[in-house]
Structure 1
């Protein structure tokens, strides 16, 4: 059995007082086995059903509200600075360990939003078969999928909501080619973090809207699959240079240097403990990302977890260039339809989320150029085939 430090919090909603326990498991000091995190769309029906049953139970226990509350209350410490990757890796592992306490055989999957980046509405992940689509007109309540008609109690009593950015559309996300351009150009952890956080990461939050575009977004299970994709992207970047599994750089929210020995907000673990996904306490790899050679068993002794006293309420799309989207023309033939890049993110929203407005503008320029390259290649291939 896992040993927990339990966080007891009181929620006041009008005249209703509810008490909940939100557990924070200590991580193991060694790996008894290494599991594989996979694209959620590759899970078989039985695997997917087990995952859904576990997250519904977590919701029933009030744990999703707990994750949303924690993330919201320390958001300024773990966004817009270089604690972002390491802290969210620890946060995902917290979620995964609680899942495995309910069902030891369930592993957190990831959502590869790069597969349907141009038209997320066609993504099965945003369908009734998986996590549901847009919220109901008016109030944004999610009515289909695994989270259909879920309530939430944080930050107030309401339904779980999504409100797509353009009413009935999320808009485009980032193509994986743009993500890999960042992987190829970013030489330091700080550069890579800033470019991904203010680009590919942010556009998904804004596109889904509703609870997803807030700092309590972890009330939505899909948050964890989105961030597993971000974690996978970081793991792939790390795999290109073994030194990246041992060191970090940049600054935290207090403008203090982030180093391997820096402590993660709330958890108190050293950043070094998060750097290898197959290291002690984490014990996972991604299905198509090479991990580092197994690390020697850690002798690091984790201190007891601090109390969290905030209120608690109960990849690779290599066919980017050649997807054959065509429309009929007046001569009875067809022509290739250009892809559209994601639209710029609202500066006011960026600031509210502790993001970097200037970096977001630079990333917008990058993704615009990448999509233009993709369109040029598709037109060239199309014209060659028509000859």
Structure 2
């Protein structure tokens, strides 16, 4: 019954979506291949050879000319609440990226979607070449927020209405800091279930980038901007790395959808109507890609017991995973539930010494890194963000940045002592 209802919803959304963009362009809906005739490698965009970068930019410019970017923006916006804040987030966006890449390859069979590693310049994204005129441009101009440099220079869009492509940095001329990779990997090391991992990444580094760039990028039609696909390719890579740490993760998911129905490998993805399980392998049929610094998944059939989905309702509310905001906000742990053990760095509050600056002259020369700012409350409400989780993730990344700063100061003091 639920599956049939989901199919009807998908059909309704497709009809509405196609009707909306049909007058603007023909938006192709290619089907996934049954087998992989080749497996391509997605790379960090700043490592692309000049010819590879030129090929990618030329291809996406043609996609924009054909109106396909409007189509992706419309699709994403129409079903936004079905694919955010629940366990369809990772699998659905992996399918969405593959749809984008397949349309790229209709224009140029050799084109491959790269990823944007925003963690490389996390402390000051303004220094990131991806946000420069040599790549995809930066902040919109003050008068109207239109992007006027880079590959998307003076791009127009027709969805949701006719306008220029916009970005409006969160702090006027600054995006604020993003997440360091150390914090991302700490989440990888401590998240036991898919539901835990999805919630922490979606409400942490994912949202910070969207809100930092602002303009169209902080809306649900953000796919009108090519940076959306490179940002989500980075998130997909992060998911792929987390999956690679346990064979079970290539076969199963857990948690709930937007209607509070369990999400399993056989659940159907919104819009596409394909099983979630078909999107769990990057090099599986129809996807056919790997990432440049990750090994290709080699999957073995798990034991039957390993296929049983984790109880996400219990696991994601376990108070041992976070420092609580206040007692009333944290649900009680069910009696008899076994709480997984996690490293103390994730759950233990930072001590006063962690935040205290050394008083020596040498340490005064080291300027502390600023932590990523918290997500904006009005944006969280609009984007179906889990406010409590976002606040936990903000505290978490603040602790990680404090540790980084403490280690930098200690290193500076050690260097000074060596010189003396």
Q: Same-fold call, TM > 0.5?
A: yes
Q: Does 1:9 align with 2:19?
A: yes
Runs of 4+ more than 2 Å apart: 5-11, 331-334
How many Å separate the matches in 2 of 1:19 and 1:141? Answer: 22
Q: Does 1:162 align with 2:167?
A: yes
How far residue 293 of structure 1 moved from its aligned partner, in angstroms, is 1.4
Q: Give unpaired runs (5+ residues) of structure 2.
A: 1-13, 302-360
How many Å separate the matches in 1 of 2:113 and 2:202? Answer: 21
How many Å separate the matches in 1 of 2:69 and 2:49? Answer: 25
How many Å separate the matches in 2 of 1:32 and 1:198? Answer: 36
Partner of 1:137: 142
How many Å separate the matches in 2 of 1:107 and 1:372? Answer: 37
Let me know the Cα RMSD of the aligned residues.
1.8
TM superposition score normalised by structure 1: 0.86
Q: Give unpaired runs (5+ residues) of structure 1.
A: 12-16, 297-330
How many Å separate the matches in 1 of 2:41 and 2:65? Answer: 27
Summarize deviations over 1:147-170 as a string: whole Å, max 9, x none. Answer: 000000000100000000000000
Please give the secondary structure, in 1, of the residue aligned with 2:29: strand
Equivalent runs, 1:311-326 vs 2, <5 Å: none
How many Å separate the matches in 2 of 1:364 and 1:220? Answer: 26
Please give the secondary structure, in 1, of the residue aligned with 2:290: strand
Partner of 1:257: 262
How far residue 20 of structure 1 moved from its aligned partner, in angstroms, is 1.8
How far residue 383 of structure 1 moved from its aligned partner, in angstroms, is 0.5
How many Å separate the matches in 2 of 1:244 and 1:202? Answer: 24
Please give the secondary structure, in 2, of the residue aligned with 1:187: coil
How far residue 290 of structure 1 moved from its aligned partner, in angstroms, is 2.0
Greater mean deviation of Cα atoms: 285-294 or 31-40: 285-294
Structure having the larger proportion of residues in helix: 2
Q: Does 1:386 align with 2:399?
A: no
- Of 32, 36, 50 in structure 2, the residue corresponding to residue 31 of structure 1 is 36
Q: Does 1:84 align with 2:89?
A: yes
- Of 176, 182, 187 in structure 2, the residue corresponding to residue 177 of structure 1 is 182
TM superposition score normalised by structure 2: 0.80
Q: Does 1:365 align with 2:395?
A: yes
Is the contact made by 2:141 and 2:147 (CA closer than 8 Å) also made in structure 1?
A: yes
Please give the secondary structure, in 1, of the residue aligned with 2:296: coil
Partner of 1:308: none
Radius of gyration: which is bigger?
2
How far residue 372 of structure 1 moved from its aligned partner, in angstroms, is 0.2
How far residue 355 of structure 1 moved from its aligned partner, in angstroms, is 1.1
Structure having the larger proportion of residues in strand: 1
Partner of 1:49: 54
Larger RCO, structure (CA 8 Å, separation 6 or more)? 1
How many Å separate the matches in 2 of 1:213 and 1:56? Answer: 22
How many Å separate the matches in 1 of 2:26 and 2:381? Answer: 33
How many Å separate the matches in 1 of 2:228 and 2:300? Answer: 29
How far residue 348 of structure 1 moved from its aligned partner, in angstroms, is 1.7
How far residue 347 of structure 1 moved from its aligned partner, in angstroms, is 1.7
- The alpha-carbon distance between structure 1 residues 333 and 362, as it changes in their structure 2 partners (threshold 3 A), is closer
